[in-house]
Amino acid sequence: MTLPVGFITSDDDLSKTLYVRPLAPYRQGRFAFGFYELIVRKNGQVTRYQLGRAPLMEWAQNEGEDVVCYIGTLLDRTESTLKNYAGLQVINTPLIMGIVNVTPDSFSDGGDNFDAATAIAHGKMMVKAGADILDIGGESTRPGAAPVSIEEEIRRVVPVIEGLQGQGVKISIDTRNAAVMEAAVKAGADIINDVTALEGAGALEVAARLDVPVMLMHMQGEPQTMQANPVYDDCALDVYDYLAERIKACEAAGIQRENICIDPGIGFGKTLDHNLEVLNQLALYHGLGCPVLLGASRKSFIAKICGDMPAKDRLPGSLAAAIQGANTGMQFVRVHDVAETKQALDVWTAQ
């Protein structure tokens, strides 16, 4: 496919027109950034061109100074693989976020203390297994899950955050409620993980005031209905544009880019094809200049690919997704099975 010449005009918003995706796998200690996919989106048309770095820069030069500058920034961001976030040093193998659910549907027995004690024990086990972050959540975003009051959500997560202090790992609070963010950080949480990218009432302001690192995830629609009929122009690019817009909103609210991690939100308002489009182009998101997290563990896209099986039987598919994350330079993977994921990533890293 021949490159468009004189295609970009001064009317084009470059940030919604040009994207670059590195084609070589990210490998620890030996990076090969020779080849890229240049993605051009104009008038609703998306065209992809695969080319070497030098021809890409040559094309940019012909398009003008603004394009040189924009592509230069994207390449700089994509090629700076070392990123520090939340006091964690991220080398070129993903760090592991272990999932700690504090929702009644994740326990067979009901009692309050049982819930907290079980979650704390589970968290400590994940630390032993090699987790770098524990993600503590008290609200289920599963379709059909019972709604939880803010008081109940706080009552669930605070004792678990307190019980997991001093383990030598970071704690993230998985919530979309500003009041829960506040209570959780007060109890010792280090990071806010929000599946609505701080779009909730007061969330941006509270996160900025608390001055803790944030994770911004993409979701289309609302948890109850998001899987009904998700529609995109181009899923991977639409997610990119959304995250770019949320980064901008964070910066405007006083949250610095170094304190932002982004996440394309596998399974959140996405069909199997949408999820696969994102999973196949994960490295695109490095152009946004933030560490990237991939959360694919046990999600239903695995069952849709392989034939239905319960969530607990999706470890092999989850490990394949984690390795895809490693190959595309993801800084974090969010997983249920920490020991197993660590073994897979250690072997990948040792190659």
Active site residue ranges: 299, 334
Q: How far apart are alpha carbons 99 and 147 in whole angstroms? A: 20
Contact with ligand 8Y4 (CB under 6 A) among 311, 320, 323, 339: 311
Q: Residue 268 CB, nearest distance to ligand 8Y4 (Å)?
A: 7
Residues 6+ apart with CB under 8 A from 341: 96, 297, 318, 319, 322, 333, 335
The nearer residue to ligand 8Y4, 75 or 204, going by C-beta atoms, is 204
Residue 69's H or E segment, with its range, is helix 65-79
Applying CB under 6 A, the site for ligand 8Y4 has a residue count of 16
The nearer residue to ligand 8Y4, 4 or 230, going by C-beta atoms, is 230
Contact with ligand 8Y4 (CB under 6 A) among 334, 335, 341, 344: 334
For the stretch 162-190, what's the b/e string if a residue is b when 16 or more beta carbons lie within 10 angstroms of its beta carbon? ebbeebebbbbbbbbbbbbbbbbbebebb
Longest CA–CA separation in the chain, Å = 67
Among 3-11, 84-92, 118-126, 294-302, the segment contacting ligand 8Y4 (CB under 6 A): 294-302
**Which residue has the CB atom at the shortest distance from ligand 8Y4?**
295
Residue whose pair of structure tokens reads 């209905």 in the numeric block:
225
Contact with ligand 8Y4 (CB under 6 A) among 88, 217, 262, 326: 217
Q: How far apart are alpha carbons 211 and 336 in whole angstroms? A: 28
Q: Applying CB under 6 A, does 265 fall inside the site for ligand 8Y4?
A: yes
Q: Please count the CA atoms within 13 angstroms of the CA of 336 that sit on its side-chain side.
A: 14
Q: Applying CB under 6 A, does 192 fall inside the site for ligand 8Y4?
A: no
Q: Applying CB under 6 A, does 266 fall inside the site for ligand 8Y4?
A: yes
The nearer residue to ligand 8Y4, 41 or 298, going by C-beta atoms, is 298
Contact with ligand 8Y4 (CB under 6 A) among 298, 326, 341, 344: 298
Give the three-state DSSP class for 304.
helix
Residues 6+ apart with CB under 8 A from 192: 172, 173, 175, 181, 184, 185, 198, 207, 210, 212, 213, 214, 215
Q: Applying CB under 6 A, does 137 fall inside the site for ligand 8Y4?
A: yes
Q: Residue 41 CB, nearest distance to ligand 8Y4 (Å)?
A: 25
The nearer residue to ligand 8Y4, 21 or 334, going by C-beta atoms, is 334
The nearer residue to ligand 8Y4, 158 or 192, going by C-beta atoms, is 192
Q: Applying CB under 6 A, does 195 fall inside the site for ligand 8Y4?
A: yes
Judge residue 9's burial from the number of C-beta atoms within 10 Å of its C-beta, 0-12 exposed, 13-18 middle, 19 or more buried: exposed
The nearer residue to ligand 8Y4, 98 or 137, going by C-beta atoms, is 137
Residues 6+ apart with CB under 8 A from 11: none
Residues that bind ligand 8Y4 (CB under 6 A): 137, 141, 174, 193, 195, 215, 217, 263, 265-266, 293, 295, 298-299, 311, 334
